[in-house]
A and B are shown apart, each in its own frame.
Chain A
Amino acid sequence: MPSLKDLKNRIASVKSTRKITKAMQMVAAAKLRRAQEAAEASRPYTERFNAVMSGLASGSAGSASAPRLLSGTGSDQVHLLVVMTAERGLCGGFNGNISKLARAHAQKLMAAGKTVKIMTVGKKGRDVLKRDLGEHFVGHVDLTAVKRVSYANAQSIAKDVLGKFDAGDFDVATIFFARFENVVSQHPTALQVIPAKFEEVEGAEASLYDYEPSEDAILADLLPRGVATQIFAALLENAASEQGARMSAMDNATRNAGEMIDQLTIEFNRSRQAVITNELIEIISGAEAL
């Protein structure tokens, strides 16, 4: 049976924890709004881009001269997994879910006899995967200092990935991130970026356009940009998902802390009452004995 003083200390401690989680929840809510706005702002670009790309890609996908970024290297022996997670924890299952998906994917590939290379973005994913997949790491991008992901961040990651591709370090690249559905649900997603896959658009309008300089030159120019665009979109989705996950995790924590305070307060009142009753019994029985 804890003493009154112990209970009082615990209540105070849980109360301050609740204050912190409450504050974190509100910060996450504000950041979430900004992250969602950023994701929304990038959408017109991504949509137009993909529409044009799928038109172009469907035109030249079959031809032998198609760029390697589109047609692939002809083998799928070496896989690069780009695992994007958050830089901070305390956001529920967010980092764990992405890492779990990436690990399952890596293990499946390894079981099939493929070589796996892993590049991590965000230190939480690296920490999680280091234990059993550490020897496959080929690179890490640190975004700790970045408050708001910009296209330049995505470009530098894309440049890194494309450089490795040009050097023949891998055949297939897949990015892992969490797609933002709403505040309570974020879906860990795997997306293959190299060789590029575009959704087929009904009745592709590729042939309608004049191309300047030429169709192939445009395609060769745009494919590397496409990688950057997809990485940027993934980074933004991830940022929104992270804040969403943190918000609901902190909401839960705040609620749990509240429940705990209620329980502890009841316990505190009970034991205080018990102490008072005890004292009264002592006084009364002392008076009666006289």
Chain B
Amino acid sequence: MANVQFDLVSPERRLASVEATEVQIPGADGDMTAMADHAPTITTLRPGVLKVLHAGGTDEYVVSGGFAEITATSVSVLAEQALPRGEMTQEVFNEMLSEAKAAHVSAQEVFKNEPGPVDDAAKLLADMVAIGGHIGLTANE
């Protein structure tokens, strides 16, 4: 089976560059799996878990937004913030969560009459909490 070239980069470093058979992407409109000969697509990401299947096994990364560029032969994920799942500790998670909460609160204050940004922030927060559920970390209130 044909492989795709998978690259995961964040502004600070290149996290991964491997030949993958399958990449599961947490797209903004829903999860999608990219394999070889996928139609060229650009999608934004929601905070979630990115799963890469390759010859050597499966890698998982926690990403906090950004976008992915999918072509027939490659998948490039440009994540705002990305961590290998192993480095995602309760501490880091709490920090990300409290950031999302703060953003939600400030959105509620700033945009009193516009539901759009508040909903966005609420969705971000919900996505963050969902990540915790995925990887077995608790979102302590």
Contact = CB atoms under 8 A, between A and B. Distances in A.
Interface string A234-257: 000000000000000000000000
B12 A38 contact: yes
A52 B12 contact: no
B14 A48 contact: no
Given A151-B81, A212-B28, A44 B43 contact: no
A146 interface: no
Contacts of B84: none
A209 B41 contact: yes
Interface string B74-97: 001010110000000000000000
A211 B14 contact: no
Contact of B44 (A48, A209, A217): A217
B105 interface: no
Contacts of A44: 7, 9, 14
Contact of B12 (A49, A151, A208, A218): A151
Interface residues of B, number: 24
Interface string A14-45: 00000000000000000000000010011011
B11 interface: yes
Given A38-B12, A151-B10, A49 B43 contact: no
Interface stretch (A171-179, A186-194, A221-229): A221-229
Contacts of A218: 42-44, 67
B81 A209 contact: no
A278 B43 CA distance: 90
Contacts of A49: 78
Contact of B42 (A42, A151, A154, A209): A209
A210 B69 CA distance: 10
Nearest to A221: B44
Nearest to B80: A225
A150 B42 contact: no
A240 to B, nearest CB: 15
Contacts of B13: 41-42
A213 B44 contact: yes
Nearest to A215: B42
Contacts of B39: 210
A158 B70 CA distance: 28
The 3 closest A-B pairs by CB, nearest first: A212-B43, A151-B11, A210-B41
Interface of B: 7, 9-14, 27-29, 32, 39-44, 66-67, 69, 76, 78, 80-81
Interface of A: 38, 41-42, 44-46, 48-49, 52, 56, 150-151, 154, 205, 208-213, 217-218, 221-222, 225, 229, 232
27 contacts: A41-B13, A42-B11, A45-B78, A48-B76, A49-B78, A52-B42, A52-B69, A150-B12, A151-B10, A151-B11, A151-B12, A154-B11, A205-B40, A209-B69, A210-B39, A210-B40, A210-B41, A211-B41, A212-B28, A212-B42, A213-B43, A217-B44, A218-B67, A221-B28, A225-B66, A225-B80, A232-B11
